[in-house]
A = this chain, B = another copy of it.
């Protein structure tokens, strides 16, 4: 089969053998926003046309390709959502002479205040790690929009999104806090200062201005201030998210997963980092539920 993780800014395809092992992979900066005039079939053929010509299939996709701006909208499935329920809502798309692919739907839920929340792509990653989890588990997928997903008995029971990554990026690029920030590796000590700060009174809006004031007073080096801001934001996220979860399963890019691991450790919580290639395994799981062709 062919598994494709197709997001806003990137395209990642995997060719798998009958047992689900990856035999080949391709990646390109060809997110759905880079595809003009809805020419998704052509974009895909440009990347994996040789696999398709060789008769490889079925083709399953997840991510923003199933959004309103993607190839075909695959409506959100309500929580609690099992692999079967998600697979039942795979959207079929076709092209050319007999080309067929399936797009995974997103998942939605409502929090205690009745406000909706959505994910698209992460549900497939979670399905890919279900076999590694106990019956009840919290998974954190850090990123632009961090997801905290509660799994119960093989279902996505509920989740919350935190705008941590996007807020970090915009504060850095577009506010007074970014003016003094320099690029560089994460400074673990300064990151920890940010984490500790998030536990103090005053609230996030006040803590943010402190990044500026500490810089002004020479108490925060320009090279380290991004690490402090990162610790501050992640610290606030951790306080709000799944505070009762003693163990958190981390699923994300290695650098980000390492930062969240340090942050969880800082507040006395245990974390287990999972293999970030989970989307492929989630698509393999969904493929089992496809109608016989």
Instruction: Provide the bound-state CA to CA distance between A206 and B213, in Å.
Output: 26
Known: A115-B214, A117-B210, A174-B173. Contact between A237 and B203, CB under 8 A? yes
Contact of A174 among B118, B170, B213, B214 (CB under 8 A): B170
Do A202 and B111 have beta carbons less than 8 Å apart?
Answer: yes
Q: How many chain A residues touch the partner (CB < 8 A)?
A: 45
B200 touches A164 (CB 8 A): no
Q: Contacting chain B: which of A90-98, A155-163, A245-253, A267-275?
A: A155-163
* Chain B neighbourhood of A113, CB < 8 A: 197, 200-202
The answer to whether the Cβ of A189 comes within 8 Å of any Cβ in the partner chain is no
B241 and A206 within 8 A (CB): yes
> Is residue A205 contacting chain B, with contact meaning CB distance below 8 A?
yes
User: Which residue on B lies nearest to A233, using beta carbons?
Assistant: B205
* Contact assessment for A205 and B170 in the assembled complex, using a CB-CB cutoff below 8 Å: no
CB pair A236–B203 under 8 Å, yes or no, is yes
Q: Are B200 and A112 in contact (CB under 8 A)?
A: yes
Distance of A31 from chain B, by nearest CB (Å):
14
Q: Which residues of B contact A166 (CB under 8 A)?
A: 175-176
Bound-state CA distance A216–B164 (Å) is 19
Complex partner residue of A163 from B164, B197, B208, CB under 8 angstroms? B208
For chain A residues 165-214, which have a beta carbon within 8 Å of chain B? Answer: 166-167, 170-171, 173-176, 197, 200-206, 208-210, 213-214
- Interface CB pairs A-B, < 8 A, 17: A112-B202, A115-B210, A115-B214, A116-B213, A116-B216, A161-B213, A162-B203, A163-B209, A167-B175, A167-B205, A170-B171, A170-B174, A202-B240, A203-B237, A203-B241, A204-B240, A205-B236
